[in-house]
Chain A
Amino acid sequence: MAEAKKPKSPKGTVAINVELCKGCGFCIAFCPSGVLEFSDKFNSKGYHPPHAANPEKCVGCGLCGMYCPDFAIFGTRNKEVA
């Protein structure tokens, strides 16, 4: 269901449930690190969901999830790898 990007050693990860997305763009506009962009793909309702265009920049602040009015995206901080 959720599609997640797994970069090399970013501080955070963003997970997107594309089917819940209504394409408002809040997450893209307000991501402080510029991780997200609209995807070219459509979900089944015809919206363009976001995708992590720059996953390495994710700091896992979780703001995308705070903004998302459709509960379609959330960011998590990655565990420190020793």
Chain B
Amino acid sequence: MSPTTKNPRNQYLRTDRMPHIWCPGCGLGTTINCFITAVEECGLPLDLISVVSGIGCTGRIAGYLKLDSFHTTHGRPIPFATGLKLANPKLKVVVFSGDGDLCAIGGNHFIHAARRNMDLTIICVNNFTYGMTGGQVTPTTPMEAVSSTTPYGNIEEPFNLPFLADCSGAVYVARWTTFHVRQAAKAMREAIQKNGFSFVEIISPCPTLYGRRNKLGDGLKMMQAFKDNSVVCNDADTRSVALDFRGKIACGKFVDREKTSFLDMYNTKMAERFGPFYEPYEGVK
């Protein structure tokens, strides 16, 4: 019984790019672990999983996963993923990006992909700030929180992302923190297995640029706070799960419903219109 010396996660990682660029105490690596577990558990062939990221710290995730991976432009991973999915619907397309990328610059794409129920899994790592550019305010920064562009405290009401996803039409909505590794992995697996627009928000520590400015301590302290402040409330009304500065963090699976996905709807409609001559669209030949 010799000790295993190779991390079993290595087969999913571009180990030739390690160590990664993220700070000590950053939660992004933890979300990757959760994702790897989710991928392992759902048993999909790895060759059929594509990861699409935008720009920012979370945007770098695509570059560390040894899957077909696309590091696209700022805010646009969802429309890129839309094209990828439609060209080859056999692919499981996962968008892995940050709160600024998906909900500020990419907010329009987020709501529209949810509205048309595009079969994509969106994992939004929410650290309440733009890390890559030095800690500016994002649409999820809580009121009062200090950022480099809100030095006197944020005065804008933040997005409640599960509610945004829910009311835009997502078929699966969950939120966990990087402390809840097992639950987060399970939520990612369920999201991947769902047919339609599925959304998982992961609250993650950014000790360097958000924690430090807001006196929340280092990564570990922030993780402890996630542990202490989380309240599991599955099936909660998404209107009630907004986040406050240093407040309680509602976690759980909030939405899980069935709705015809974009492509299924498309094929149904075209078959109706063209009759028996219509060959269902299953990707470009």
Q: Which residues does A use to contact B, with CB under 8 Å?
A: 1-2, 4-6, 13, 15, 17, 19-20, 22-26, 29-30, 47, 63, 65-71, 74, 76, 78-79, 81
Tell me if B22 and A20 are in contact (CB < 8 A): no
Write out the residue numbers on chain A whose beta carbons fall within 8 Å of the beta carbon of B13: 71
Write out the residue numbers on chain A whose beta carbons fall within 8 Å of the beta carbon of B218: 24
Tally inter-chain residue pairs, CB-CB below 8 A. 92
Separation of A56 and B37 alpha carbons in the complex (Å): 26
- Taking CB as reference atom, which chain B residue is nearest A25? B220
Tell me if A76 and B4 are in contact (CB < 8 A): yes
Question: Is B25 an interface position by the 8 A CB rule?
Answer: yes
Tell me if A66 and B34 are in contact (CB < 8 A): yes
Select which of A17, A20, A24, A79 is within 8 A of B25 by beta carbon.
A24
Tell me if A66 and B7 are in contact (CB < 8 A): no
Tell me if B30 and A68 are in contact (CB < 8 A): yes
Tell me if B220 and A65 are in contact (CB < 8 A): no
Write out the residue numbers on chain B whose beta carbons fall within 8 Å of the beta carbon of A23: 24
B6-36: CB near A (< 8 Å → 1, else 0) gives 1111100100001110111111111011100
A10 to chain B, nearest CB (A): 11
Question: Is B225 an interface position by the 8 A CB rule?
Answer: no
- Taking CB as reference atom, which chain A residue is nearest B223? A26
Question: Is B91 an interface position by the 8 A CB rule?
Answer: no
Interface of A, helix, strand, loop or mixed by DSSP: loop
Q: Which residues does B use to contact A, with CB under 8 Å?
A: 1, 3-10, 13, 18-20, 22-30, 32-34, 37, 178-179, 181-182, 185, 218-220, 223-224
Separation of A9 and B243 alpha carbons in the complex (Å): 46
Write out the residue numbers on chain B whose beta carbons fall within 8 Å of the beta carbon of A81: 1
Separation of A63 and B178 alpha carbons in the complex (Å): 12
Tell me if A13 and B4 are in contact (CB < 8 A): yes
Select which of A4, A25, A47, A78 is within 8 A of B5 by beta carbon.
A4
- Taking CB as reference atom, which chain B residue is nearest A61? B182
- Taking CB as reference atom, which chain A residue is nearest B179? A30
Write out the residue numbers on chain B whose beta carbons fall within 8 Å of the beta carbon of A71: 7, 9-10, 13, 18, 29, 32-33
Separation of A38 and B252 alpha carbons in the complex (Å): 32
Write out the residue numbers on chain A whose beta carbons fall within 8 Å of the beta carbon of B185: 66
Tell me if B30 and A67 are in contact (CB < 8 A): yes
Tell me if A74 and B9 are in contact (CB < 8 A): yes
- Taking CB as reference atom, which chain B residue is nearest A14? B3
Separation of A7 and B5 alpha carbons in the complex (Å): 16
